[in-house]
Each structure stands twice: as structure tokens, then as C-alpha cells.
Chain A
Amino acid sequence: MASALRTEVLRLYKTLLFLGREYPKGADYFRDRLRAAFIKNRDVSDPEEIRQLISRGEYVVKELEALYYLRKYRAMKQRYYENE
């Protein structure tokens, strides 16, 4: 894989790993699924396909951030905005 793409993939992996620490089902659960997903695609060599996989990974990052935000928002609303 081209060196530039390789850096991007590694960066994506590190970002997901970092985000996974707060995963509701546990950081270990997340890390195992994350590794499995990346290992499954380790032999992909077509740059276009790699870019698509990276985009999918970035989508997951956005989904995780949204998930975390909604959980927090819901908890705060329940605790502090009882009368609404």
C-alpha cells in the first residue's frame, strides 16, 4: 500500500481506538471488533478500495461521536430538566 495511504489508515485506526475507550459495551469489546475489522482487510491493495474503506471508517468515527453525545445529552436532560 502506498505510504501516504498507509499513514491515513494508521491514523484512522488510532482515532477509532481512542474513541473506543468510551464504548458502552466496553473498551475491550470495541478493540477486538476494531482489530478484526482491520485485519480482515489487510490484503486489500487497490488504492480506490482502500480509500473507500477509510471513508467508511471515518463514517464510523462520526457515528461514535454522535452516539456518545446523545447518551450524554439524554442523561443530562433526565437529571436536570425534570419538569419538561
Chain B
Amino acid sequence: MAARVLVGVKRVIDYAVKIRVKPDNTGVVTDGVKHSMNPFCEIAVEEAVRLKEKKLVKEVVAVSCGPQQVQETIRTALAMGADRGIHVEVSGKDYDTLGPLQVSKILAALAKKEEASLVILGKQGTFASEVTIDGDKIKVIREIDGGLETIKINMPAVVTADLRLNTPRYATLPNIMKAKKKKIASVKPGELGVDLTSRLEVLRVEEPAQRQAGVKVETVEDLVGKLKEAGRI
């Protein structure tokens, strides 16, 4: 049986919140804004917990990088069924510039340290719509242009979750209470040998262009007239 699954969970602005750009255009307003677990990370956690319930893996470890508040997100993962959590402490300037490169180095170092056979993450790149474990290999069905592809991969492996992989369970109150007993360990990126310096610099953040209001026309002649006006024909 595969030993350990590592699941990355990211604390993001809640999907239902309207995002606002800061007046100085350096970023997005996050203070006082409702945050929750990235919906794709929820799907990843659900998949990991299901693998454990099917007795295909022994332990599910939830990992998140960021300041103190990400512990709430880790707690949600614990309430969904993860066994323990790891909080990689990153705050202030480091957190603002934390990008995929740094996070992937952190996750790689952790996967090695924890001897994880499988790392499941929320959506980026290619996505799995079904995951099963067959002996010491993982069978993944993924969606590609034109259909489905089934692949068998060796462990350790990294799998990312598609929207259709599963329906995540809701973290109910009793489970949230039980999760309080589960451990969350804190770790600094330095301890993992990861350098957080970013090679990217954010110059400016802007809202997307407002959608232009549409114009209604009464007849086909009007339509042709308007198109000619706009220089389209």
C-alpha cells in the first residue's frame, strides 16, 4: 500500500468575492477580504481522502505555504479527512513574491522529506478525471483534446485535479471539532533548503477592460450600417 499522499492546499480569496485592485495598482485588496481554500485544492483533498478510505494509501498530509492564516485552510483539509498538516511559514515580502517556482521547490523538498508516494494538487496543466492505484503503479484517466487518455505511472508521482474528478465533501461541524486534535507542524523554507528569492517583479496590476455595452438594432440594414460605421466591413 502506498505510504503517503501529500496534498497542496492554497488559501485564496473566496471565489464569490468581487476582486478589487488596490488604488496604487500594486496588487489586489486582500485585507479584510473573505478567504477560503481554492476550489481545485478541495477536489485534490477529496481525492486523497477517498484513496485513503479505499485503503489505497495510509496517510494524507495537507500542506500550505503562507502566513499564520493559512492554518485555517489546513484545518479545513483536516476536517475533510486529512491526517495531519504542514504549515510552511512564509510571510510579509516573501509571501507577496511567492510564486509557482518557489512553491514547487518547497513541495518537492517536502515530498522527499515526508517520503510521499503521491502528490495531488489543484488544477494547473494536465488534469486527472479519475485516479486509481493498481499495485505499485497509479492509473490516471485524463482528458485531452478529442477524448480520454489512460496512463499508468510509477510512484512517486504528481497528479493535478480536474473539475470533474470528484465532488468534494463539505467540512461539517463535528468533523471540524475532531480536526482540532490533529497536528499541524510548522516548517521554515530555509529548513527545507529552499531559497525564496523571486526572479519576477510585479510592475502593475490593473482591472480587465470593462465590457462595452452592446447596441441593439432593429433591422438588417441598421446592422449593416453599424458594421460599416465601425469599419468592420
Among B167, B170, B173, max chain A CB count under 10 A is at: B170
B213 is an interface residue with CB less than 8 A from chain A: no
B123 is an interface residue with CB less than 8 A from chain A: yes
Number of A-B contacts defined by CB within 8 Å = 25
A77 is an interface residue with CB less than 8 A from chain B: yes
Identify the closest chain B residue to A72 (Cβ): B39
A38 is an interface residue with CB less than 8 A from chain B: no
Complex CA–CA separation, A19 to B16 (angstroms)? 16
Question: Which of A1-9, A28-36, A42-50, A63-71 lies at the binding interface?
Answer: A63-71
Q: Looking at the complex, which one of B16, B167, B170, B172 makes contact with A75 (CB distance below 8 Å)?
A: B16
Contacting residues, chain A, for B167 (C-beta < 8 A): 69
SS class, residues of chain B in contact with chain A: loop
Judging by beta carbons under 8 Å apart, are B173 and A15 in contact? yes
Identify the closest chain B residue to A22 (Cβ): B16
Among B36-59, those with CB < 8 Å from A are 39-40
Contacting residues, chain A, for B95 (C-beta < 8 A): none
Judging by beta carbons under 8 Å apart, are B15 and A68 in contact? no
B163 is an interface residue with CB less than 8 A from chain A: yes
What's the interface size class on A, roughly?
10 to 19
Judging by beta carbons under 8 Å apart, are A71 and B16 in contact? yes
Also in contact, A14 and B40, with CB within 8 A (given A75-B16, A76-B163): no
Judging by beta carbons under 8 Å apart, are B39 and A76 in contact? yes
Complex CA–CA separation, A14 to B40 (angstroms)? 28
Task: For the complex formed, measure the closest distance between the CB of B172 and the CB atoms of chain A, giving whole angstroms.
Answer: 7
What's the interface size class on B, roughly?
10 to 19
A positions within 8 Å CB-CB of B: 14-15, 18-19, 65, 68-69, 71-73, 75-77, 80-81
Identify the closest chain A residue to B145 (Cβ): A83
Residues 103-118 of chain B, each 1 if its beta carbon lies under 8 Å from chain A, else 0? 0000000000000000
Judging by beta carbons under 8 Å apart, are A81 and B163 in contact? yes
Some 6 contacts from A to B, beta carbons below 8 A apart, are A14-B173, A15-B173, A69-B170, A73-B163, A75-B16, A76-B39
Judging by beta carbons under 8 Å apart, are B170 and A76 in contact? no
Residues 168-206 of chain B, each 1 if its beta carbon lies under 8 Å from chain A, else 0? 101011000000000000000000000000000000000
Complex CA–CA separation, A69 to B16 (angstroms)? 12
Contacting residues, chain B, for A72 (C-beta < 8 A): 15, 39
Identify the closest chain A residue to B163 (Cβ): A76
Judging by beta carbons under 8 Å apart, are A76 and B173 in contact? no
Judging by beta carbons under 8 Å apart, are A76 and B172 in contact? no
Identify the closest chain A residue to B172 (Cβ): A15
Complex CA–CA separation, A5 to B97 (angstroms)? 53
Closest 5 CB pairs of A and B: A65-B170, A18-B173, A72-B39, A76-B39, A75-B15
Complex CA–CA separation, A76 to B167 (angstroms)? 13
Contacting residues, chain A, for B173 (C-beta < 8 A): 14-15, 18
Q: Looking at the complex, which one of A68, A73, A81 makes contact with B170 (CB distance below 8 Å)?
A: A68
